[in-house]
Amino acid sequence: QKEVEQNSGPLSVPEGAIASLNCTYSDRGSQSFFWYRQYSGKSPELIMSIYSNGDKEDGRFTAQLNKASQYVSLLIRDSQPSDSATYLCAVISGGYQKVTFGIGTKLQVIP
């Protein structure tokens, strides 16, 4: 079992819709959770961080964390074509505070 799992996609949504991206992790002791966006040919860019159970909203983005179920999700409201990218889930866990990334979900927003 991979430590951080994501569906690689592609996930296609129409412009203006809500895109829902999911991530599960295996280490119950994981402490910090991040979502990165990566455009083709570019480096990953942090868009959200979440540390406690519940929802965290930032503009059109909402991160959700459920530690009991070991999943993290990212909702993108009013999706725009410019949101088309690969979204990487990252989890910090372990005594060394190691960061593990998921494979990433490719999102396509169709105009």
Partner 1 sequence: DAGVIQSPRHEVTEMGQEVTLRCKPISGHNSLFWYRQTMMRGLELLIYFNNNVPIDDSGMPEDRFSAKMPNASFSTLKIQPSEPRDSAVYFCASRLDRLYEQYFGPGTRLTVT
* Spatial distance between the Cα atoms of 3 and 97, rounded to a whole number of angstroms: 14
Taking CB under 8 A as the binding criterion, the range among 52-60, 64-72, 73-81, 101-109 that sits at the site for partner 1 is 101-109
CB atoms within 10 A of CB 88: 23
Q: What residues numbered 27-66 form the site for partner 1, per CB under 8 A?
A: 31-32, 34, 42-46, 49, 51
Closest CA to 35 of 46, 24, 23: 46
The SS3 call for residue 110 is strand
- Exactly one of 7, 20, 70, 100 binds partner 1 (CB under 8 A); which one? 100
Nearer to partner 1, 79 or 89 (CB): 89
Query: Is 97 a residue that touches partner 1 (CB under 8 A)?
Result: yes
Question: Total residues contacting partner 1 (rule CB under 8 A)?
Answer: 22
- Exactly one of 1, 28, 96, 111 binds partner 1 (CB under 8 A); which one? 96
Nearer to partner 1, 18 or 99 (CB): 99
* Spatial distance between the Cα atoms of 28 and 82, rounded to a whole number of angstroms: 34
Residue 83 phi, psi (nearest 5): -80, -10
Q: Sort strands 32-38 and 11-14 into parallel, antiparallel or unpaired.
A: unpaired
Binding region for partner 1 (CB under 8 A):
31-32, 34, 42-46, 49, 51, 88, 90, 92, 96-104
